[in-house]
Amino acid sequence: MPSKDMIGRVLSTGSATITAEHVAAFADALGDRNPRYRGPGAVAPPTYPIAFMIEAMSGGMETFLELGLNFMTLVHGEQEFEYTRLLKVGETLSLVGRIGDIYEKTGSSGTLDFVTMETEAKDEAGEVVFYSRNVLISRRA
Amino acid sequence: MAALEARNVKVGQELPSLVKGPITKDELKAYGAASGDPNPIHIDEEFAKNAGYPGVFAHGMLSMGYLGEFLVEAGGAPEAVRKFRARFAKLTWPGDVLTCKGIVTAVREEGGARLVDCDIWTENQAGERKITGSATLTLR
């Protein structure tokens, strides 16, 4: 089970460069035909950060294992984004992910562990471009 | 239906709905590849069954992506989406047709812009709500 001592700990850092090809492929996979997501001056659709956050943050695997979540039952419970501006093709973002909260709930089906991850993305000028908060849930084995 | 308009948006107003699907297993594969989500539970039938599910099910983020398209249309441009939250309450299955819906819960002013808070959700062909959430749109 996750230890509350890990709240506030930096889970992982990473960076991601936004390419026109990836943004267009992501919009295609959503069946979203908005022309703003295509071409050299494209911007990214609202949920696009998820497409680079998983890979960019995978360096945090050891910390993640240390959390002691049950991977067999791990699900994405909630996702939240707050944007300060649109993401643009060609820019490189730096990401810092922290463990925001750890808590548990016990019900009829057993004990569920909740871990909140908070990620902040900054552009090359050091300005925050978005915040992401996601809640992972796993049933204790 | 047209996008919300800053000059006449009202609490209780419905956002123009967006229908997506029926969702296919090929779409789940394509979304998994494009989003970099390595979880086989969305693409491998055997894996999903071994994990105790009747079969593969859709990524929560696929449905949230549909809600993103819906919010951009409601707000009139990608710039409109300022905050966006979703809770993945129930699973979405291949064959489901999802309708993205929303209702305005508050209208406020901030720095010369009109901000609109909404409750949003997806529901399937049986009217079952799958993901629920909220968003803030900036209308200009």
The confidence score (pLDDT) of residue A29 equals 98
Confidence band, pLDDT 50/70/90 cuts, at residue A134 = very high
**Taking CB atoms and an 8 Å limit, are A54 and B71 in contact across chains?**
no
The letter for the amino acid at B97 is V
Does the CB of A31 have a partner CB in chain B at under 8 Å? yes
Q: DSSP per residue over A85-127, as a string?
A: S--BTT-EEEEEEEEEEEEEEEETTEEEEEEEEEEEEE-TTS-
**Hey, is B108 helix, strand or coil?**
strand
**Taking CB atoms and an 8 Å limit, are A46 and B30 in contact across chains?**
no
Q: Which residues of B touch A43 (CB under 8 A)?
A: 78
Q: What is the pLDDT of residues A24-75, one digit of tens each?
A: 999 999 999 999 999 889 999 999 999 998 777 766 667 777 777 777 778 8
Residue A45 exposure: Cα atoms within 13 Å on the Cβ side: 33
**Hey, is B30 helix, strand or coil?**
helix
> How many angstroms separate the CA of residue B36 from the nearest CA in chain A?
6
**ipTM of the modeled complex:** 0.96
Nearest CB neighbour to B78, from listed A25, A52, A86: A86
Mean per-residue pLDDT of chain B: 95
The confidence score (pLDDT) of residue B1 equals 56
Is the distance from CB of B133 to CB of B67 less than 8 angstroms? yes
Residue B48 pLDDT > 60: yes
Q: Which residues of A touch B33 (CB under 8 A)?
A: 29
Average pLDDT over residues B103-107: 98
Neighbours of B82 (CB within 10 A): 22
- Alpha-carbon distance of A15 to A111, in angstroms, equals 35
CA dihedral A62, A66, A71, A73 (to 10 degrees): -150
**A78-87 b/e (C-beta count within 10 Å ≥ 16 → b):** bbbbebeebb
Strand-by-strand arrangement of the B129-139 sheet: A10-17, A92-107, A110-122, A128-139, A75-83, B81-88, B129-139, B113-123, B98-110, B18-20
Q: Phi then psi for B37, rounded to 5 degrees?
A: -90, 110
The C-alpha R_g of chain A, in whole angstroms, comes to: 17
pTM of this structure = 0.94
Confidence band, pLDDT 50/70/90 cuts, at residue A9 = confident
Q: Which residues of B touch A47 (CB under 8 A)?
A: 61, 64-65, 68, 84
| Cβ-based burial of B68 (10 A; exposed 0-12, middle 13-18, buried ≥19) | buried
Compare all CA atoms of chain A with the CA of B71 and give the residue at the minimum distance: A46
**Taking CB atoms and an 8 Å limit, are A30 and B87 in contact across chains?**
no
Question: Which range (A87-101, A105-119, A121-135, B122-136) has the least confidence?
Answer: A105-119
Beta bridge partners of B19: B99
Question: Which range (A2-16, A51-65, A86-100, B3-17) has the least confidence?
Answer: A51-65
Q: Which residues of B touch A77 (CB under 8 A)?
A: 87-88
Distance of CA B93 to the CA centre of its chain: 15
**Taking CB atoms and an 8 Å limit, are A45 and B79 in contact across chains?**
no
Q: Which residues of A touch B77 (CB under 8 A)?
A: 36
Q: Which residues of A touch B85 (CB under 8 A)?
A: 78-81
Q: How many CB pairs under 8 A join A and B?
A: 93
Among B69, B115, B136, pick the best mutation site for testing chain A contact (most A Cβ within 10 A): B69
Mean per-residue pLDDT of chain A: 90
The confidence score (pLDDT) of residue A73 equals 76
Residue A16 pLDDT > 90: yes
| DSSP conformational letter for A30 | T
